Amino acid sequence: MYEREKLWARELCRYAGKEEAFFEDFWKRLSADEEVMTEFSYYLEHQNFLCRANVEGYTVVDIMVWQMDHFKAQMDRGKYAMKQDGDTMLLMAFDTFLKMKQDKYPYLQKLQGETGTDYPGKTF
């Protein structure tokens, strides 16, 4: 069961340059959470988000948007490490979402307090 998803998860991790230990941890958490696994499977099949799994109203898409805000802020500073790397962003969004489901409060604070966008008076 979920062999296709496991292969895809392994390839995403490999593509992102993650160690085998990262993959094993990610897969263990993903395969233990039926709700997030459904989201992951849906994305694999449709290349779109189902957005049924949520934590306090936040979905994997919200995590992606939050991460992209941070990515754009890094680009503003001349750091282009993830430029055009949607697969890594997707992997990290699912990874962050799984972590958020385990301990939501640190992530809720970040999502509500860190925009990633530079603006006058912003504290980092």
pLDDT interval class at 122 (50, 70, 90): very low
What share of the chain has pLDDT > 70, as a percent?
79
CB proximity list for 82: less than 8 A, separation 6 or greater: 71, 74, 88, 89
pLDDT exceeds 70 at position 71: no
Give CA 79 to chain center in angstroms.
Answer: 20
Structure tokens at 13: 């991790």
Q: What is the pLDDT of residues 79-110, one digit of tens each?
A: 555 555 788 889 999 999 999 999 999 999 88
**Stronger pLDDT, 71 or 40, i.e. the higher one:** 40
* pTM, to two decimals: 0.83
Q: Report the amino acid identity of residue 106.
A: P
